[in-house]
Amino acid sequence: MSCCGLDPVVDGNKAIQFACINGDYDAVRRLLQEKTVDPTVNDNAPIRYASCFGNAKIVDLLLRDGRVDQSANNSEAIDIARLHRHLDVVDLLIHYYRLYNLQTTTKIL
């Protein structure tokens, strides 16, 4: 994805970070399709930004991507969502946490 000939990963993957801050679902979706875009930049900052601003659809999109680690920074994404009372985001993060742990446990058994 290139806008006006600009590289979306320039300047430390700022494009996905700003898209998460601004709640731009379509931009995040398009950026995640780019193999060079890193949604784990700055220790998974995009999911923390989306959680902070209550962007549940973007949080869901990031978690479905599979590269994002919601437990980064001692699970700061859920703490930030809870602090700002974005309960839909908190519920979503808990759901994915349980789903991940269930899949991990099932593989071990």
pTM confidence score: 0.84
Structural domain boundaries of the chain?
10-108
* 10-108 topology per CATH: 1.25.40
Please list the pLDDT of the chain residue by residue as tens digits (109 residues).
444 355 777 788 999 999 999 999 999 999 999 989 999 999 999 999 999 999 999 999 999 998 999 888 888 999 999 999 999 999 999 998 887 766 655 555 4
Q: Is 67 helix (H, G, I), strand (E, B) or coil?
A: coil
How many CA atoms lie within 13 Å of 82's alpha carbon, on the beta-carbon side? 9
The residue count of the chain comes to 109
